[in-house]
Amino acid sequence: MKLTRLKAFTITSLLSAILVVLVILLIATTGLREYIPGYPKAEYRQTLLLTALKVDSLENELYKRDQFFKSIQAVLSGEVPVDNLYIDTVSVQNVIEITEYDHDSLFQDKLLAEQTSLATPSGSSRRLNLSQIHFFAPVKGIVTNKFKSTPDHFGVDLVSEPNARISAVIDGTVIFSGWTIDAGYVIYIQHDAELVSVYKHNSVLLKNKGDRVKAGEAIAIIGNTGEHTTGPHLHFELW
């Protein structure tokens, strides 16, 4: 068969195209691509990916922290949104009466002895007498660390069985339910007579912000979350 110039050109072009494709595949599927000028090395790409993930995680934590601080600031300044608080339409009594839980009397005595005295702002018609409030134990267990003003340990630590439920100590409204870096999963509950209870280091949160809870109602599961945790336990505070 006679080889013409056209056939020779066609065969040469086809072979060249096949060779180019093979070279591209070889470079793309092997480490040779890292020798191409301007192509980032594998460790650089991995570093960039990890950095992007860390930045995204930090942004998320900062947002949660800002929301947490806003909620606490609103509570301390008395500016909690009306739709997040329970408004009692019944005439306010001078003394709060709550059904007594006899099996929790030991916890009540410990709590009242270790917490600082709390009083309502001057001029308020609602006066708080802690000795007449009966608290439901937040968890059935033992106290491993008591209230200490120095160092800053403004609460009590309680250890219980794994996956024990955490309960609201008295009726109230959840004003914060979320994650913090130091204390892990946390719930803050606003109660009548200017009381706020705090439950830290939980593994699971069962209530959301704005939920109304009753004394003894499950609000979380005991856990070991947050950078400042010392093991599975509940850190409980009352303000």
In this structure, are strands 196-202 and 184-190 parallel, antiparallel, or unpaired? Answer: antiparallel
What is the pLDDT, as a whole number, of residue 96? Answer: 41
3-state secondary structure of 195: coil
Determine phi and psi for 117, rounding to 5 degrees.
Answer: -65, 140
Ranges 63-67, 111-115, 179-183, 196-200: which has the least confidence: 111-115
What is the pLDDT, as a whole number, of residue 90? Answer: 40
What is the pLDDT, as a whole number, of residue 189? Answer: 92
Give the C-alpha separation, 21 to 177, whole Å. 58
Give the C-alpha separation, 145 to 153, whole Å. 9
What is the pLDDT, as a whole number, of residue 75? Answer: 59
**What is the CB neighbour count within 10 angstroms for residue 95?**
12
Give the C-alpha separation, 141 to 236, whole Å. 13
For residue 221, name the pLDDT band (cuts at 50, 70, 90).
very high
Whether residue 219 has pLDDT greater than 90: yes
Kindly list the distances between the CA atom of residue 55 and the CA atoms of 49, 50, 62, 133, in Å, as whole numbers in the listed order: 10, 9, 10, 47
What is the pLDDT, as a whole number, of residue 2? Answer: 59
What is the pLDDT, as a whole number, of residue 168? Answer: 93
Q: What does pTM read for this prediction?
A: 0.48
Token pair for residue 50? 């990890």
What is the pLDDT, as a whole number, of residue 213? Answer: 92
For residue 147, name the pLDDT band (cuts at 50, 70, 90).
confident
Whether residue 115 has pLDDT greater than 50: no
Give the C-alpha separation, 34 to 101, whole Å. 71
Question: Tokens 């340990």, residue?
Answer: 153
What is the pLDDT, as a whole number, of residue 195? Answer: 86
- The structural domains of the chain, ordered by start, are 82-238 (2.70.70.10)
* Average pLDDT score, the chain: 74
Residue 219 exposed, middle or buried by CB count within 10 Å (0-12, 13-18, 19+) = buried
> How confident is the model over 183-197, as pLDDT tens digits?
899 999 998 778 889
What is the pLDDT, as a whole number, of residue 228? Answer: 81
Q: Where are the beta strands (DSSP E) in the chain?
A: 142-145, 156-159, 165-167, 172-180, 184-190, 196-202, 204-205, 212-213, 218-221, 234-238
